[in-house]
Amino acid sequence: MSELTQLTLAQARDAMAAGEFSAVELTDAYIAAMEAVRGLNCYLLETAGRARDMAAASDARRAKGDVGALEGVPLAVKDLFCTAGVPTTAGSHILDGFTPVYESTVTRNLWDAGAVMLGKTNLDEFAMGSSNMTSYFGPVTNPWQRRGDAAKLVPGGSSGGSAAAVAARAALAAIGTDTGGSIRQPGAFTGIVGMKPTYGRCSRWGVVAFASSLDQAGPMTHDVRDAAILLGAMAGHDARDSTSMDRAVPDFEAALSGDIRSLRIGIPRQYVMDGTPPEIDALWRQGIEWMRQAGATIVDIDLPHTKYALPTYYIVAPAEASSNLARYDGVRYGLRVAGDSIQEMYENTRGEGFGPEVKRRILIGAYVLSAGYYDAYYLKAQKVRTRIADDFHAAWEKVDTILTPTTPGPAFAQGEKMDDPIAMYLNDIFTVPASMAGLPAISVPAGLSAEGLPLGLHLIGRPFDEETLFRVAGVLEDAAGFDARPALMAKGA
Amino acid sequence: MPLDRENVRAIAQLARLKMPEALLDSLAGELNKILGWVEQLGEVDTDGVAPMTSVVAATLKQRADIVDDGDMVEDVLANAPEETRNFFVVPKVIE
């Protein structure tokens, strides 16, 4: 049984197609794995009974010749996606007792493709964080440890539970959401592939909103092929999300040709930053060399507004968050804390229901949107955002894909960087610019730090050209040959 | 002009967030640090630059103006902390 949890999604799919094992057998192996790694706190809710029912239904469909793209594939779902009849928390106390009566479009697409839900994964509260430390339900432990040091490390965030579940082999693959790096940074911290598609590729309907002009769902997987397969099932136009694009969803897996000889890879000068550890720069240089050896043309490019992306993000995202989170008022769903007046009830509910980081961002957002400050902060940030996007538009004249590091360092210990919000925000310095411009991007595990922790390289693509992005990522993955495994992993039943 | 505890109290009230008195000073410090850090955007020349309104160039898709769902009172009320006779219940708002 234990071998079943060591497969990739593609391998499991092909083995089930060949009749080597059933969806029920595969699901049972993952249910055992979920139980084995409970100490990591990566699942907020295990839905084993539902998973077995879904797996049995999948086997029945297969017996009739009805086989979807993800038929019988057991997946973990970030607990930001509303799942009908299954409690959804967003990692927050304020959604206490909330059980959606509807299914998010992305998860609906997964189940329609035959996938099996294993459970809902832990996350930073309302996806606000880069460590999973802000979850109301406690931190997630990264399955990786520093060499000779059992200190508990963060898995990154906000999709930390999804990342840890995949890395610990307690899910065949997972879905996450990415606002400023919330799929890619935890992907890098846990040695898995994390991919954010172009804004508009996946429907946001039924996903608890953080910053609506930035939020995108994406796959978190063992390898690039799995990410291509999973995104293919997640993506597509949805009439219920006016920002989802009505474009054909290509066969992303077919794009993995392994040939990047005709491509130009951009290396942005501005991503060389003071204080970046030498091992990050070294890995980046190695990545450039791998691209060159694969026959791609390396082109130095300028993205002059790179350093302004993160401060821009910390105006735009909190502004949108303060607006989106106004809906949590103790009236229609979730927590209610009594008060003598309706005003007091609102204030008590929100004061008790939101954690410190969420409150901090609501306050920043309310401030930058308030009369007298709107132009100086919010309007200014939206103008800088235009300039950041223009930098990329200019770059696409010269290159097809951009290569950068994913993070400025490996996973850090639980509790580190907690007293300095800006130090925590700097985790997303390499991932935020692509978010601000709505571009697809992917983190591929590419090497180990001196302490034996995974490091990722990051590729950014043209809008709606995920195919080229996957193609380059596949070549990068092959060249890196990353095969290290974390210390804490489900060994299976 | 840096924020002080009274500013933080006012913003928290705007955002309908009850904040313990004891936290107002430390929050003011944190918010000032973040706002000080974002001040660097002042260096960027944005004269004549249009603020971003949509990250992906696209025309908003139109649809026929037809009501195609609704009549789901039970679903709407399913998660209400307090409800009665198809209404959400809140503390009394009129004297």
SS3 A107: helix
DSSP string across A71-101: TT-EEEEETTB-BTTB---TT-GGGTT---S
CB atoms near residue A244 (< 10 Å): 22
Contact assignment for B16 to A345 by CB distance below 8 Å: no
Contact assignment for A363 to B51 by CB distance below 8 Å: no
DSSP string across A402-460: EEEES-SSS--BTTTTTT-HHHHHGGGTTTHHHHHTT--EEEEEEEE-TTS-EEEEEEE
Residue A416 φ then ψ, to 5°: -70, 150
Beta-strand runs (E) in A200-308: 216-221, 264-268, 297-301
Instruction: Give the minimum alpha-carbon distance from A169 to chain B in angstroms, rounded to a whole number.
Output: 34
Contacts of B73 in chain A (CB under 8 A): none
What's the ipTM? 0.95
Would you state the pLDDT for residue A245? 94
Would you state the pLDDT for residue A213? 96
Q: Taking Cα atoms as reference points, which of A457, A468, A356, A13 lies closest to residue B30?
A: A356
Tokens of residue A137, six digits: 């339900």
Contact assignment for B51 to A243 by CB distance below 8 Å: no
Q: Assess B53–A contact: CB distance below 8 Å, yes or no.
A: yes
- The one catalytic residue among A158, A162, A244, A449: A158
Residue A2: active-site member: no
Contacts of A381 in chain B (CB under 8 A): 38, 41
| Residue among B40, B58, B91 whose CB faces A345 most closely | B91
b/e map of A125-135 (b: 16 or more CB within 10 Å)? bbbbbbbbbbb
Contact A210, A357 (CB under 8 A): no
The alpha-helical segments, DSSP class H, found in A325-379 are: 342-353, 356-368
Instruction: Give the minimum alpha-carbon distance from B24 to chain A in angstroms, rounded to a whole number.
Output: 11
3-state helix, strand, coil in chain B (%, to 5): 40, 5, 55
Domain boundaries, chain A: 1-493
Q: Assess B15–A contact: CB distance below 8 Å, yes or no.
A: yes
Mean pLDDT of B59-80: 91
Q: Taking Cα atoms as reference points, which of A38, A73, A72 lies closest to residue A161?
A: A38
Would you state the pLDDT for residue A2? 58
Would you state the pLDDT for residue B94? 81
Contact assignment for B42 to A359 by CB distance below 8 Å: no
What own/partner pairs with CB < 8 Å and gap ≥ 24 does B40-44 have? B40/A307, B40/A308, B40/A311, B41/A308, B41/A311, B41/A312, B41/A315, B41/A380, B41/A381, B41/A384, B42/A380, B43/A308, B44/A305, B44/A308, B44/A383, B44/A384, B44/A387
Per-residue pLDDT of A76-93, as tens digits, reads 999 999 999 999 999 999
The C-alpha atoms of residue A255 and residue A232 are separated, in whole angstroms, by 12
Contacts of A339 in chain B (CB under 8 A): 91
CB atoms near residue A112 (< 10 Å): 12
Q: Assess B25–A contact: CB distance below 8 Å, yes or no.
A: no
pTM exceeding the 0.80 threshold for the entire prediction: yes
Contact assignment for A312 to B41 by CB distance below 8 Å: yes
Longest dimension (CA), chain A: 70
| Residue among B18, B27, B33 whose CB faces A351 most closely | B18
Residue A412 φ then ψ, to 5°: -110, 175
Q: Which residue of chain B is at minimal alpha-carbon distance from A389?
A: B55
Would you state the pLDDT for residue A493? 39
Residue B1 has pLDDT above 80, yes or no: no
The C-alpha atoms of residue A236 and residue A242 are separated, in whole angstroms, by 12
Contact assignment for A384 to B3 by CB distance below 8 Å: no
Tokens of residue A90, six digits: 């967003």
Contact A76, A170 (CB under 8 A): yes
Residue whose structure tokens are 């009749």: A19
Tokens of residue A466, six digits: 């995920």
Would you state the pLDDT for residue A1? 43
Q: Between chain A and chain B, how many beta carbons pairs sit less than 8 Å apart? A: 161
Would you state the pLDDT for residue A43? 98
* Beta strand pairing call for A297-301 and A264-268: parallel
The alpha carbon of residue A448 and the mean position of all alpha carbons in its chain are separated, in whole angstroms, by: 21
Contact assignment for A354 to B17 by CB distance below 8 Å: yes
Tokens of residue A114, six digits: 């035959």
Mean pLDDT of B66-85: 94
Q: A1-493 sits in which CATH class?
A: alpha beta
One digit per residue, the tens of pLDDT, for chain A of length 493 reads 459 999 999 999 999 999 999 999 999 999 999 999 999 999 999 999 999 999 999 999 999 999 999 999 999 999 999 999 999 999 999 999 999 999 999 999 999 999 999 999 999 999 999 999 999 999 999 999 999 999 999 999 999 999 999 999 999 999 999 999 999 999 999 999 999 999 999 999 999 999 999 999 999 999 999 999 999 999 999 999 999 999 999 999 999 999 999 999 999 999 998 888 999 999 999 999 999 999 999 999 999 999 999 999 999 999 999 999 999 999 999 999 999 999 999 999 999 999 999 999 999 999 999 989 999 999 999 999 999 999 999 999 999 999 999 999 999 999 988 888 888 888 899 999 999 999 999 999 999 999 999 999 999 999 999 999 999 999 999 999 999 999 988 765 3
